[in-house]
């Protein structure tokens, strides 16, 4: 385990949670449950909010930098969305700043172990590339293929969004592989995620995105939401050709 000597022992889960409540906004507390679809039958059903926006959470994390993993575990198990997000932001900060490979492995394993608590799109998007993607950059990526095939929305989103790290380093192969596995996914949050990652590839290499979409007429197989996200930045005449199946 990581030595607690690296952390300020006076800073704890309860201390940070009080700091979160101190900067909570009542209007945000009312708005966020609607924004993150917490109604019965929706993807965020049952989630609860304090009313703290991410910039204020980041400010707290930047002030204190790190916590022992047993304290972060308390964040991950908390009922409040912002507590789970703050725990993840601490973990991102700690993973990014660490120079110790064994320590980074421990942070990665912790993330994977607690992925069932990473249960909304913002929690995934702000953490998966910087922990999972970064960790697997020069390692075996088989776990991403396993995640993509699991019948679990957030685990599948972790898989595809983690590849954003690879894309930023001009490595597109894993994104394309996972996009094939998720090409006809029925949920719009996966459709949007795949389309977004394809769009990010296109921003860096337009030709390879075009080739992926056109090969085996994949653009005709994918849901319209995925396609629209993928071609959002295309020249208008080309975008219309894809939408009208004229490629």
- Domain with residue 1: its CATH number is 1.20.1660
Q: Which long-range contacts (CB under 8 A, 24 or more apart) does 148-156 make?
A: 148/178, 148/181, 148/182, 149/181, 153/43, 153/187, 153/189, 153/190, 154/115, 154/116, 154/118, 154/119, 154/120, 154/123, 154/124, 155/115, 156/182, 156/185, 156/190
pTM of the predicted structure, to 2 decimals: 0.94
**Domain span including residue 144:** 127-247
Is the same domain home to 216 and 247?
yes
Is the same domain home to 104 and 185?
no
1 pLDDT exceeds 70?
no
Last residue of one domain, picked from the residues 88, 120, 152: 120
Nearest by Cα to 134 from 122, 144, 123: 144
Is the same domain home to 110 and 132?
no
For position 9, what pLDDT does the model report? 54
Report the SS3 class of residue 80: strand
Last residue of one domain, picked from the residues 89, 120, 151: 120
Is the same domain home to 102 and 196?
no
Is the same domain home to 23 and 116?
yes
Is the same domain home to 3 and 48?
yes
Binned at pLDDT 50, 70 and 90, residue 10 comes out as low
Q: What is the pLDDT of residues 102-119, one digit of tens each?
A: 999 999 999 999 999 999
Last residue of one domain, picked from the residues 82, 102, 120: 120
The CATH number assigned to the domain holding 236 equals 1.25.10.90
Q: How many domains would you assign to the chain?
A: 2
For position 67, what pLDDT does the model report? 95
Is the same domain home to 131 and 247?
yes
2 pLDDT exceeds 70?
no
Helix (H) or strand (E) holding 205: none
Is the same domain home to 34 and 87?
yes
Mean pLDDT over residues 21-37, rounded?
97
Structure tokens given for 224? 């319209």
Is the same domain home to 23 and 92?
yes
Q: What is the pLDDT of residues 139-197, one digit of tens each?
A: 999 999 999 999 999 999 999 999 999 999 999 999 999 999 999 999 999 999 999 99
Is the same domain home to 91 and 205?
no
């Amino acid at each position: 385990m990581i030595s607690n000597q690296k952390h300020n022992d006076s800073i704890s889960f309860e201390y940070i949670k009080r700091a979160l409540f101190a900067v909570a906004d009542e209007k945000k507390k009312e708005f966020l449950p609607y924004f993150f679809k917490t109604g019965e039958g929706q993807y965020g059903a049952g989630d609860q909010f304090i009313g703290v926006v991410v910039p204020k959470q980041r400010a707290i994390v930047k002030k204190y930098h790190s916590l022992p993993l047993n304290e972060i575990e308390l964040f991950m198990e908390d009922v409040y969305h912002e507590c789970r997000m703050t725990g993840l932001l601490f973990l991102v900060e700690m993973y990014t700043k660490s120079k110790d490979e064994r320590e980074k492995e421990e942070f990665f394993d912790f993330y994977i172990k607690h992925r069932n608590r990473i249960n909304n799109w913002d929690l995934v998007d702000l953490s998966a590339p910087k922990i999972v993607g970064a960790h697997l950059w020069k390692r075996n990526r088989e776990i991403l293929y396993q995640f993509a095939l699991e019948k679990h929305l957030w685990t599948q989103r972790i898989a595809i969004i983690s590849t954003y790290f690879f894309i930023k380093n001009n490595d597109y192969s894993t994104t394309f592989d996972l996009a094939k596995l998720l090409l006809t996914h029925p949920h719009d949050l996966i459709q949007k995620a795949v389309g977004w990652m394809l769009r990010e590839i296109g921003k860096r290499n337009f030709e390879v995105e075009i080739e992926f979409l056109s090969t085996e007429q994949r653009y005709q197989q994918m849901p319209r939401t995925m396609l629209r996200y993928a071609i959002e930045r295309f020249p208008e005449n080309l975008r219309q050709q894809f939408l009208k199946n004229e490629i």
